[in-house]
């Protein structure tokens, strides 16, 4: 059952290899990452109880009622395999409903905020704590004329357990690598490098107020698209079809075989597509399309994290056009320039986000002062690297600053409720992950 699977610790990451039919993929996944799955569920239980005022049973019930009937058999089998892989390790308090709830976590957060907006119309917007910074460039925008893409993940340090890089070879469809959380079949942080030639990432859209409970969840569409989408057109078609609006994102993707890049802003009922062979797109959690903005509650004129980072991306890309390369991308992800104040200091407005150091909090996300949220990884790849299944990855804050949970909680005891699950995040060196060396077709 475990033949051909392995796990290796590398500079803060767990590099995991799984292969085979759906059930075997899942069993290997669950067996290799049992302890991480237990922690992820425990941390998310704590988060939703304290922040969302929902219990974990709400997430389990939503997963089995809204999502399970719409999940194709192959992904049902994979999640059943994960649950069994955990069970054989002697864990008796995690079952299939927990695994489906873990996979549907982002969808259910969207569903929760949609329900709350209906129940409490006066709420200024649907708040999400998962936000990121990313860009993709090609043609004359990059030094070598190929694709360059970079992304750092922002999330709660409590629930941000996505230090797993998975090399996944399904029996059907294309092999791919992804950054992922434990127990999750479709990343959740959305960093994919595929044998299809596609490179894919995203940043969430702030203030999304819409949701369709009668459609297919994000995590299934994202997994299906990376596994079976063999072009930008096919990938977009799979993501847009039967979209429930969960975890609404500004997707950035490229095809290293053609050097074309695209941006898909995907709301629930509206979307926009931009494509180019010469230029760049950047994401900072703010919708740019007017029709997608119609589905949000967000003040696009008020200075804040999203708009400040949008401005900073525009400045960096414009001033470095034709020179963009891997080392620049790494430095951008670690950038501490606040485009609003003009100061160089880590805070909520910087590409390398540090809300834990910012006394203003982030009202647009309903986040209070010094909330332990921010950037805690970095990934970069190029056409040359991705064509071989390779990319650079950095665990911990891209700037190199460590997060020490005990020190933080001693300064901010108001977040003491996180103590049982909050972990240190140590910044590790940039590491080149060398994948399968596939031949693109």
Q: DSSP letter string over 19-75? A: EESHHHHHHHHHHHTHHHHHHHHHHHHHHIIIII---HHHHHHHIIIIIGGGS-HHH
- Does residue 25 sit within a domain? no
- Does residue 332 sit within a domain? yes
Residue-level pLDDT at 129: 58
- Does residue 197 sit within a domain? yes
Residue that the structure tokens 């977009």 belong to: 236
Which residues on adjacent β-strands are paired with residue 332?
none
* Contact call for residues 29 and 17 (beta carbons, < 8 A): no
Q: Which of 206-210, 299-303, 413-417, 435-439 has the lowest mean pLDDT?
A: 435-439
Distance of CA 218 to the CA centre of its chain: 12
Bigger pLDDT: 404 vs 436: 404
Residue-level pLDDT at 126: 46
Report the relative pairing of strands 271-276 and 260-266 from DSSP bridges: antiparallel
* C-beta contacts of 48-53 below 8 A and 24+ residues apart: 50/417, 50/418, 51/129, 52/109, 52/112
- Does residue 44 sit within a domain? no
Note down the domain range covering 184: 6-18+133-434
pLDDT beyond 90 at 119: no
- Does residue 186 sit within a domain? yes
Residue 228 DSSP SS3: helix
- Does residue 161 sit within a domain? yes
The number of residues in the chain equals 441
Query: What's the CA gap between 320 and 338, in Å, rounded?
Result: 18
Mean pLDDT, rounded, of the chain: 95
Question: Where residue 435 falls among pLDDT bands split at 50, 70, 90?
Answer: confident
Residue 114 DSSP SS3: helix
pLDDT beyond 80 at 123: no
Residue-level pLDDT at 130: 58
Closest by alpha carbon to 132, among 112, 111, 150?
150
Residue-level pLDDT at 366: 83
pLDDT digits (tens, 9 = 90+) for 274-308: 999 999 999 999 999 999 999 998 889 888 899 99
Give me the mean pLDDT over the 259-281 stretch: 98
Percent share of the chain, pLDDT over 70: 97
Which helix (H) or strand (E) segment is 241 a member of? none
pLDDT digits (tens, 9 = 90+) for 158-217: 998 799 999 999 999 999 999 999 999 999 899 999 999 999 999 999 999 999 999 999
What pTM was estimated for this model as a whole? Answer: 0.96
Question: Where residue 117 falls among pLDDT bands split at 50, 70, 90?
Answer: confident
pLDDT digits (tens, 9 = 90+) for 318-362: 999 999 999 999 999 999 999 999 999 999 999 999 999 999 988
- Does residue 123 sit within a domain? no
Query: How much of the chain is in helix, strand and coil states, percent to nearest 5?
Result: 35, 25, 40
Residue 257: both structure tokens together: 């075989």
Residue-level pLDDT at 347: 97
Give me the mean pLDDT over the 54-65 stretch: 98
Which helix (H) or strand (E) segment is 233 a member of? helix 232-240
Residue-level pLDDT at 350: 98
Between CA 128 and CA 11, with CA 98 as vertex, the angle to 5 degrees is 70
Closest by alpha carbon to 246, among 41, 48, 40, 67?
67
CATH number of the domain residue 312 falls in? 3.60.60.20
pLDDT beyond 60 at 155: yes
Query: How many domains are there within the chain?
Result: 1
pLDDT digits (tens, 9 = 90+) for 125-138: 445 555 799 999 99
pLDDT digits (tens, 9 = 90+) for 210-235: 999 999 999 999 999 999 999 999 99
pLDDT digits (tens, 9 = 90+) for 4-58: 899 999 999 999 999 999 999 999 999 999 999 999 999 999 999 999 999 999 9
Closest by alpha carbon to 295, among 346, 328, 248?
248
Residue-level pLDDT at 125: 45
- Does residue 97 sit within a domain? no
Residue-level pLDDT at 120: 66
Classify the C-alpha dihedral 263-264-267-270 as positive or negative: positive
pLDDT beyond 90 at 122: no
First to last CA, the chain: 30
Residue-level pLDDT at 57: 98
């Amino acid at each position: 059952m475990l033949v051909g699977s392995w796990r290796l610790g590398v500079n803060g990451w767990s590099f995991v290899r799984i292969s085979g039919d759906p059930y075997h993929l899942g069993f290997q996944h669950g067996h290799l990452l049992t302890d991480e799955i237990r922690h992820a569920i425990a941390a998310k239980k704590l988060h939703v109880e304290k922040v969302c005022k929902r219990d974990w049973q709400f997430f389990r019930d939503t997963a089995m009622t809204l999502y399970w009937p719409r999940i194709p058999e192959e992904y049902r089998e994979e999640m059943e395999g994960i649950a069994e892989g955990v069970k054989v390790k002697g864990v008796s308090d995690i079952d299939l409903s927990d695994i489906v709830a873990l996979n549907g976590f982002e969808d259910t957060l969207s569903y929760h905020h949609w329900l709350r907006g209906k129940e409490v119309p006066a709420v200024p917007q649907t708040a999400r704590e998962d936000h990121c910074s990313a860009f993709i460039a090609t043609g004359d925008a990059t030094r070598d004329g190929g694709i360059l893409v970079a992304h750092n993940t922002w999330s709660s340090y409590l629930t941000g357990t996505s230090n797993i890089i998975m090399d996944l070879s399904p029996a059907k469809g294309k092999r791919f690598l992804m950054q992922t959380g434990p127990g999750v079949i479709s990343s959740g942080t959305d960093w994919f490098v595929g044998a299809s030639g596609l490179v894919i990432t995203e940043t969430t859209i702030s203030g999304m107020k819409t949701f369709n409970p009668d459609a297919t969840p994000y995590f299934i569409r994202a997994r299906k698209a990376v596994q079976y989408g063999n072009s930008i057109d096919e990938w977009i078609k799979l993501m847009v079809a039967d979209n429930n609006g969960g975890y609404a994102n500004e997707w950035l993707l490229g095809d290293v075989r053609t050097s074309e890049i695209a941006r898909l802003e995907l709301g629930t009922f509206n979307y926009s597509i931009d494509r180019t062979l010469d230029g760049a797109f950047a994401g900072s959690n703010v919708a740019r399309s007017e029709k997608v903005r119609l589905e949000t509650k967000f003040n696009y004129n008020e200075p804040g994290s999203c708009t400040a980072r949008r401005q900073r991306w525009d400045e960096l890309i414009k001033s470095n056009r034709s020179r963009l390369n891997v080392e620049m991308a790494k430095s951008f992800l670690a950038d501490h320039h606040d485009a609003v104040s003009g100061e160089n200091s880590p805070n909520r407005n910087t590409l390398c986000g540090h809300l834990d150091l910012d006394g203003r909090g982030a009202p647009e996300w309903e986040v209070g002062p010094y909330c332990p949220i921010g950037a805690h990884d970095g990934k970069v790849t190029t056409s040359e690297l991705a064509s071989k299944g390779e990319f650079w990855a950095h665990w911990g804050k891209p700037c190199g600053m460590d997060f020490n949970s005990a020190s933080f909680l001693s300064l901010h005891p108001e977040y003491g409720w996180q103590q049982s699950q909050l972990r240190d995040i140590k910044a590790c060196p940039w590491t080149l992950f060398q994948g399968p060396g596939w031949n693109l077709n």
